[in-house]
Homo-oligomer: A and B are copies of this chain.
Amino acid sequence: MLKLSKKADYGLMALQYIASVQFGDVAQARIINTKEIAEEHHIPVELLAKVLQALAKHGIVESQNGPKGGYLLARNAGTITIAQVLEAIEGPLGIADCYHDKDESTCLQREHCNIRTPLRKVQDSIYQLLNNMTVEDMMGGTPLITIQPTTTVEGVER
């Protein structure tokens, strides 16, 4: 119940990873391709590619084609909210469709609905919660340095 889809999970993981590499203190800012993210997190490559496409289309990441291509954040990590990410991947988010539906014909009990009004508060609270948290906030939670190409920090287990 209320579970995030796997695509959403993968998207958030990818963004956290990209942001960490791009703005992390140790690693150099570099473009990251889909394969690297997929292998690092053990997720299917093609599916992750599809997710990143959606994020690119919505202006969250910037795609670069060709060899040595890949993705990088389109804007600062602090301006990308979780809500924006989820909506880019899975469409408008909400506990019910009737809060942002144009056609009202979909819900048969729309007229006699007795929970639409009270649940709107829940809807708004959840959205506000997700729209206040950014991928920058997720960077703090990363416990271990991921990849260290040049220098070597003391033995952080990988």
Count of identical protomers in the assembly: 2
Whether the Cβ atoms of B93 and A1 lie closer than 8 Å is: yes
Whether the Cβ atoms of A95 and B40 lie closer than 8 Å is: no
Instruction: Tell me the nearest residue of chain B to A138, going by C-beta.
Output: B118
Instruction: Tell me the nearest residue of chain B to A20, going by C-beta.
Output: B114
Residues of B within 8 A of A90 (CB): 1
Whether the Cβ atoms of A9 and B115 lie closer than 8 Å is: yes
Instruction: Tell me the nearest residue of chain B to A133, going by C-beta.
Output: B122
Residues of B within 8 A of A3 (CB): 93-97
Question: Known contacts A122-B130, A125-B129, A133-B122: does B115 contact A2 (CB below 8 Å)?
Answer: no
Q: Is A137 in the interface zone, CB < 8 Å from B?
A: yes
Q: Is A82 in the interface zone, CB < 8 Å from B?
A: yes
Residues of B within 8 A of A16 (CB): 114-115, 118
Instruction: Tell me the nearest residue of chain B to A115, going by C-beta.
Output: B12
Cα distance A87–B112 in the bound complex, in angstroms: 25
Q: Is A5 in the interface zone, CB < 8 Å from B?
A: yes
User: Can you list 14 A-B contacts (CB < 8 A)?
Assistant: A1-B5, A1-B86, A1-B91, A2-B4, A2-B94, A3-B95, A9-B96, A13-B113, A16-B115, A43-B108, A117-B142, A118-B138, A122-B130, A122-B133
Known: A119-B138, A122-B129. 18 other contacts (CB 8 A): A1-B8, A1-B86, A2-B2, A2-B94, A3-B93, A3-B95, A3-B96, A4-B95, A4-B96, A13-B109, A13-B114, A16-B114, A40-B112, A41-B114, A117-B141, A117-B143, A122-B133, A125-B129
